[in-house]
């Protein structure tokens, strides 16, 4: 079901819908667009396998789905897509999670086939987004002077104020985009999604990788980005990444249920999973004063 924006709230916030039937908004110098399409065809999957140099891809890859957040005056673009996320999976190359012997048969594509899981079949990715800067954009604070013009995130102690984000501020636009999904041969779930919410004061997004290998392991990797709209088109973006992980055995030893059905919603059970990595970064984007 598509989000329906309120025309009066958009006008009050100085926002406008994207033209040509595109999904998203223009607001405070940002153009934010979500795109949702069908899963890749078999031919497209073959092309991706060649480019990624792998014979393994998730069951459902939404290769044409994306979320793009572009700061128009500086050309700064932060975007999210399945291909770059799978590049991260391929590079990290985690060892495969052990599957209980009784469940290995589920991974067979043919009867009596020997199952050799010698790759990370969970498609775990360290991906926290993609970044580009259009070459014709002005050099701005927050960008490096290198020809690649990469964004320069600074480590910081600042935190995203989730309590403030839960206030009754109007939601001008909301969407959730699936990038890829795999049910691990009915042995759990591997899911990468990104959600975006736009308010009059700024935008907020959550990139979430959620893994549950039934009876074995749960893994949650989340990246949150929050941009506060400043004066004179200045924007400050906070980015927090948090990785959590626990085995079913470890949770059971703490008195938590061992039943897989108790772990269907990562939002509810995330606090039970110990943090294994956490960091916060900040990016300031502004057009320099011309003298």
pTM, to two decimals: 0.90
**Mean pLDDT across the chain, nearest whole number?**
87
Of the candidates 192, 188, 219, 218, which has an alpha carbon nearest to the alpha carbon of residue 206?
192
d(CA 80, CA 251): 32
Residue 46: is its pLDDT beyond 70?
yes
Average pLDDT score over residue span 221-250? 90
Residue 45: is its pLDDT beyond 70?
yes
Q: For a pLDDT cut of 70, what percent of the chain falls above it?
A: 86
pLDDT tens profile 4-43: 778 899 999 999 999 999 999 999 999 999 999 999 999 9
Average pLDDT score over residue span 238-262? 92
d(CA 57, CA 55): 7
Residue 228: is its pLDDT beyond 50?
yes
DSSP state of 77: E
d(CA 82, CA 89): 10
CA distances in angstroms from 1 to 173, 174, 243, listed in the order given: 13, 11, 30
DSSP state of 75: T
pLDDT tens profile 103-120: 554 555 555 455 567 789
State the pLDDT confidence band at 244, using cuts at 50, 70 and 90: very high
d(CA 33, CA 97): 36
State the pLDDT confidence band at 159, using cuts at 50, 70 and 90: very high
d(CA 226, CA 221): 17
Instruction: List, as one string, the DSSP characters of 175-208.
Output: EEEEEEEE-TTTTEEEEEEEEEEEETTEEEEEEE
* Pairing label, strands 217-229, 16-17: unpaired
d(CA 92, CA 85): 11
State the pLDDT confidence band at 101, using cuts at 50, 70 and 90: low
Average pLDDT score over residue span 196-214? 96
Which residue has better confidence, 54 or 187? 54
d(CA 39, CA 260): 27
Q: Which residues contact 176 (CB under 8 A, 6 or more apart)?
A: 193, 194, 195
Instruction: Identify the pLDDT of residue 91.
Output: 96
Backbone torsion region of residue 224, taken as left when φ is above 0, otherwise alpha when ψ lies between -120 and 50, otherwise beta: beta
Q: For a pLDDT cut of 90, what percent of the chain falls above it?
A: 65
Instruction: Identify the pLDDT of residue 13.
Output: 93
Instruction: Identify the pLDDT of residue 111.
Output: 52
Instruction: Identify the pLDDT of residue 166.
Output: 82
Instruction: Identify the pLDDT of residue 148.
Output: 46
């Amino acid at each position: 079901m598509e989000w329906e924006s309120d025309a009066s709230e958009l006008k009050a916030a100085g926002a406008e819908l994207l033209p040509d039937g595109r999904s998203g908004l223009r607001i405070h110098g940002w153009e934010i667009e979500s795109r949702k399409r069908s899963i890749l065809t078999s031919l497209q999957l073959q092309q991706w396998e060649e480019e990624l140099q792998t014979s393994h891809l998730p069951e459902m890859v939404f290769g044409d789905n994306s979320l793009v957040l572009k700061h128009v005056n500086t050309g700064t673009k932060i975007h999210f897509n399945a291909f770059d996320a799978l590049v991260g999976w391929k590079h990290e190359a985690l060892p495969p999670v052990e599957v209980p012997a009784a469940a290995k048969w589920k991974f067979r594509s043919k009867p009596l086939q020997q199952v050799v899981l010698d790759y990370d079949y969970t498609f775990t990715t360290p991906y926290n987004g993609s970044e580009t800067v259009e070459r014709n954009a002005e050099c701005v604070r927050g960008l490096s002077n290198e020809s690649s013009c990469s964004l320069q995130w600074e480590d910081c102690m600042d935190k995203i104020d989730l309590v403030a984000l839960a206030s009754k501020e109007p939601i001008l636009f909301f969407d959730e985009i699936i990038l890829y999904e795999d049910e691990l041969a009915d042995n759990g779930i591997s899911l990468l999604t990104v959600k975006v919410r736009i308010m009059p004061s700024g935008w907020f997004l959550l990139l979430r990788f959620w893994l549950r290998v039934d009876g074995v392991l749960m893994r949650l990797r989340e990246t949150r980005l929050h941009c506060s709209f400043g004066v004179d088109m200045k924007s400050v973006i906070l980015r927090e990444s948090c990785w959590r992980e626990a085995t079913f055995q470890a949770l059971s030893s703490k008195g938590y249920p061992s039943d897989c059905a108790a772990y269907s919603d990562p939002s509810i059970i995330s606090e039970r999973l110990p943090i294994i990595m956490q960091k916060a970064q900040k990016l300031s984007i502004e057009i320099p004063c011309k003298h």
